[in-house]
Structure 1
Amino acid sequence: MNTNFIQLTIELIIGFFALLLITKVLGKTQITQLTPFDFISALVLGELVGNAIYDKEIGAHFVLYAVALWGLLIYLIEMLTQKIKKTRSFLEGNPAIIVQNGKIDYQQLKKNRLDINQLQSLLRSKNVFSIREVSYAILEPNGSISILKKSNYDTPTKQDINMSPKSVYLPTTVISDGKIVFDNLIEAGYSEEWLHNELNKQGIVNVKRVFYAEWLEGDSLYINTYH
């Protein structure tokens, strides 16, 4: 095999696992709370690895160094914002109230470089199709929007209509891709025999026929077969 292919293969593998390690160390906030700074950091990190891999004059150790150094800088920034509260507004940004008491704050829109069409698009992403429904709208640092509707347009709760609350349970996946998920089944407090009995009640004798099955306390077993 050509030495260039061997070197490229080694560098790709090293770069892949280095990036995987960095994402594990930095945590889920890099995805779930992606700020503009995080977005740029991810782009630069990917560009560093890409350039290092495809530059013949740069070896695998430079790939590791680039990923480690950039990852360390991002990690230090994360630690800084956790330890020193005053740095958060500069490094992470602040939420902005763009609709207050049902009125659009034009100055906040202008400050955050939003126009009315972009605001309407953000509202529609939250299933709000008219600004008249909104009491407060907050633009989060990651660019998403949080909405507090006016009471006339808000979904009533059980407390509003004097209904007694009921217990809430998480659904449990017991079969996935034709295989029993034993950990979930045991955690739910049921046995394999119980599961087979539930399947038999719905005319299924072979677990392999089941693409997905979900158990919810107080409800029947939900089954989705391959066909």
Structure 2
Amino acid sequence: MIRVLLPRQRPSWQLVTPGVLLLCAFAVPAAMLLTGQGEPAFNAVDTTWQAYSFTLHSPFWDSVNAILNWAGYAGILAFHVVLAIALLVWQRPMAAVFAATSGITALALTQLAKAAVGRDRPQGARVLTDTGSYPSGHVSATTAFLVVLVILIGRWWMKLLAAIGVIAMMVSRTYLSAHWLSDVLGGACLAAGVVLLLWWRFRDICIKENAEADGKTIWAARALQRRQAAERAE
């Protein structure tokens, strides 16, 4: 039976150190935006990238990014719920708590930061947006969900898919003029840092839980029980 989930044991420093560094990478631009006078030091990079994004516009990419606009927020929230329910069905309640806590915490901190920083969005947004540009909520939610999958699935191909997914969402938000480049980078750093630090606290119990479940899905376990019952009946 191929294990669906295979979370791996990592030394604490491999989680805490990158987690803290990622949160610092989010917090430093936030502090610069809060305390700086006029435009932030990285504004030139933001405006240059924004100008380049305008050159990419086409009907095809407009359609693709309209889908990403939905998937990156409402879609990701639905995916978080489905993942938590699936983990409960697979008899991994603590993994479900970890996944749900990661999504809720990343979302709450993102909204708090938006309100605190109060950065204006780029002009000419091609989608409806709320107030507060830093950090990107779409990128934060997407990153949190995908990093949770990377941790729980524990395979290299999931890392590749997660990297592609996060980068696609980052490019999409700037393509749609919904965020500056620094906004999407900040959202990714915030969510990834939060998930890594939460996994540091949930790691041992989730790995033990997965081992006790023997990595099998609930329907595989039931099928095994039926086979064993049939063999005993014979």
Q: Taking structure 1 as the reference length, what is the TM-score of the superposition?
A: 0.25
Q: Which of these two proteins has the greater Rg computed from alpha carbons?
A: 1
Q: Taking structure 2 as the reference length, what is the TM-score of the superposition?
A: 0.24
Query: In proportion to residue count, which structure has more strand?
Result: 1
RCO greater where, 1 or 2, for CA within 8 Å and sep 6 or more? 2
